[in-house]
Amino acid sequence: MTVGLVSYGLYLPETFETAEQIAERCHLTIEELHALGVRQRYLPSDDDQPVAMAVKAAQKALEAAGNLDPMEVDVVIWIGEEYKDYIAQTPSIRLQEEIGCRNAWAFDLVAQSVTLIQGIRMARDLIAGDDSIQTVLLAGGTRNIDLVDCENTDTRFLLPCSASGGAVIIQRGYGRNTLLGTAFQVDAEMADEVYVPGGGTEIPFSPENLNTEIMYFQTPHPEKVANYLKQRWATALGDTAARLQAGGKTGYLALRHLAPMDRKKVLEALDLTSFQSIDLEDFGHHGTNDPLISLDLGIRQNAVKDGDIVTLLTGGIGFTYAAAAVRWG
């Protein structure tokens, strides 16, 4: 039994913010922004809500799959961020209705920046375990950019956060873009080191705390996080990719957004050139959509060839890491 990636879709907002604009607003130098890997990032409009962006990406994926009938989709899985249109909303069902997947079962996954790969693994396992499931749609949107306070020096590493929608269609027996394997790891001791304090059951929103720092990402132990990012971050990404038993060497690495120094470490660890993994410095960080954006760039720039092993590699706060290997073409 094989599963393949039939198609994908991406939606990016029409507006963006340049490094010069970010630097002025956040009181940084251009050099500091470039060191974070930011030349520009996409900004959402009022209409670019997470579910709306996911719907647009899903419609593109259905079109790219030969105008696949939404009624043929058996499962819809939300792979966007936990921060979405409404608290306690089930966005997969909202997505399902918007695109017309009336015959599908729908549910949500939340795993920060690794949810795309978690969703690919889930889709494969669902298909393997249930003969009635033929086609799975994964889709999600991100606008965690709203949760980043540019005045907070402790969370400066989150400044690349951007906004987008992404979608993938997975199908049983599809003869191209075959999934070879996945790998995951977490560093559980970092679970509570980066989060948004407000809006949960511990600190509900109230008139007294609205428009305060609790509405943005915080790091309770900034020195611990800084040391982790310096010593472990790039190494853990490389280790996760190395865990894949994909039957060959990676031809293209669809890597999440990273600062230039971290990208260099990961590419060196995997013995890859910069042409084999196109950077996202003109796009920003899109959470779980990063590997899709990198894959799309690789295809458009002829860095991905038929027969290549494409490795999707990402990680996020938690801290959590994931990789998936696909035999492309």
DSSP code per residue over 22-60: HHHHHT--HHHHHHTT-SEEEE--TT--HHHHHHHHHHH
Give the per-residue pLDDT at 313: 98
Give the per-residue pLDDT at 56: 98
* Token couple for 110: 């939340």
User: Domains in the chain and their CATH numbers?
Assistant: 3-175 (3.40.47.10), 180-327 (3.40.47.10)
Give the per-residue pLDDT at 245: 72
What type of residue is 23?
A
Mean pLDDT by 10 residues, the chain (329 residues): 96 96 94 96 97 98 97 98 94 97 97 96 97 98 96 96 98 97 97 96 94 96 98 97 85 98 97 96 97 98 96 97 97
DSSP letters along 145-196, please? GGG--TT-GGGGGGTTB--EEEEEEEEET-SSSEEEEEEEEE-GGGTTSSB-
**Residue ranges of E strands in the chain:** 3-11, 15-18, 40-43, 75-78, 105-108, 135-142, 164-172, 178-186, 250-255, 309-316, 320-327
Give the per-residue pLDDT at 24: 94
Q: How many of the other CB atoms lie within 10 Å of CB of 273?
A: 9
Give the per-residue pLDDT at 36: 97
